[in-house]
Structure 1
Amino acid sequence: MTTTVTNNIETAHSLKQIPTVSIYGLPFSKMGMDETIATLTSAIDNRKTMHVITANPIMIMSALEDSSYYSMMRTAELIVPDGTGVVWAAGYVGQPVAERVPGFDILHRLMALGESRGWGVYLLGTDQQTIDQAAANLKQQYPGTRIVGVRNGYFGPEQDAEVVAEIQKAKPDILFVARSATTQEPWIARYKAELGVPVIMGVGGSFDIIAGKLKRAPKLFQKLRLEWFYRLLQEPYRYKRMLVLPKFVIKVVREKEKVTKARP
């Protein structure tokens, strides 16, 4: 018991030491991928719950427009710079992050590491056909990592207790969640304490790519920081959301001295 308490205190202390850059009051991790994975591994080893938000400029702008969404993001134990716009903004204000840390890559790194550590993973979200196919593909790619539960994301508040109970029973080490942009992170934030899962991360459209419904951007697009554009080509209906990106750039340029301050 004493060892467990000591480990939890050490883990909590290490989490406070995560280097961050404040972008409109939201603390983005400056850590690179390897450090991020090490931090998440420590959380799992010590059963320390971490809500990981893989954030982009669209989420930042949503938070600035919605105080409840902003407050929710502030409760996350780790916010990583998934969007290239976030990486650019951090560099522009003179506090660069180590690199872009995509949630899709975090998912695969953890799945790979789970093979040697025997981790259990629960997949929650999207439609049933997609989540089932994603689970099958992940099992084939990472046979040593246990898929301890699979459920689609089409449920309302009246079913939350049932879903939480299912996840608690499965006792996963990692929970990946893919729901709508407005539901995904708030749902995790609301129930993370009850769930008791060490690492909980929203993964957006990752299951669609893993299941083969969508293709991930080729390396060239990733290198040129145009992964968002490649996704837009596959899902043109997302164009309205993408219009937020130039607005974010203009806002950061105009408010350079205010970007690292608290939320206006």
Structure 2
Amino acid sequence: MSRTVYVNGEFVPEEEAKISVFDRAFLMADGVYEVTSVLDGKLIDFPGHMARLHRSLNELKMKPARTDDELLAIHRELIARNDLESGMIYLQITRGAADRDFIWPTDAEPGIVLFTQAKEQVNAATAKTGLKVITVEDQRWARRDIKTVQLLFPSFAKMEAKAAGKDDAWLVTDGEVNEGTSNNAYIVKNDVIITRNLSNDILHGITRAAVLRFAREAQMKVEERAFTVEEAKAADEAFCTSASAFVTAIVEIDGATISAGEPGPIAARLREVYIDESRKTAI
């Protein structure tokens, strides 16, 4: 059975979903997106994702396609129609369709697409094994804090990791780790959790914010600062966070084994706390 997707005001089978060839997301990567996790048929961190969506839209001077209440209703309808218990809902908003021009159209109707993706979240195999990553020089544009659909370089980096027989890549500038291809990056040294501070250099992760809040509430020490690849290789633990992977350990960086090659206790504890707390607040 095919998925039901939402395209510009209509719920349709995925085979019948269509957008204009003149949509600026297709022509110019002129669009933003959000990914909200679904656990037990409910949405995790939905208000946070909506807040970041508005920030991305504002930074690109784009109009919202729907109100937050309307978007919540659409998300819930997609969960129901697709019988989704565990996975994600992708939301993409574009500047709309207009004749190809570098100048933004002023009268285009924003485009909107939502679709589901089923995925085992809680008992994912990588939660037990951890991930192996390589480092790749970061060549993305300078506004990585805006969650745009411009994902070509992260895709290149992910493919480079796959070609090397690894799971993912950490993106690096001048020897310092920015983030993963689709996640925020962390190391642990002497029981201190270290992750890059918020700036235009990284995505302001919604899962990141929740995990750091839970860590501080549990009296864990947190430092928000840049860290080097060499620091990461010498770390006691490493992990990443994202809406699609929650908290997942990193067990190898550029061939260097981290935490005896298995998920460490802090990453494991944060994953457990994140899942437990998210279930309490899911809507």
TM-score by length of 2: 0.28
Q: Which has the higher helix share?
A: 1
TM-score by length of 1: 0.30
Say which structure, 1 or 2, has more relative contact order (CA 8 Å, 6+ apart). Answer: 1
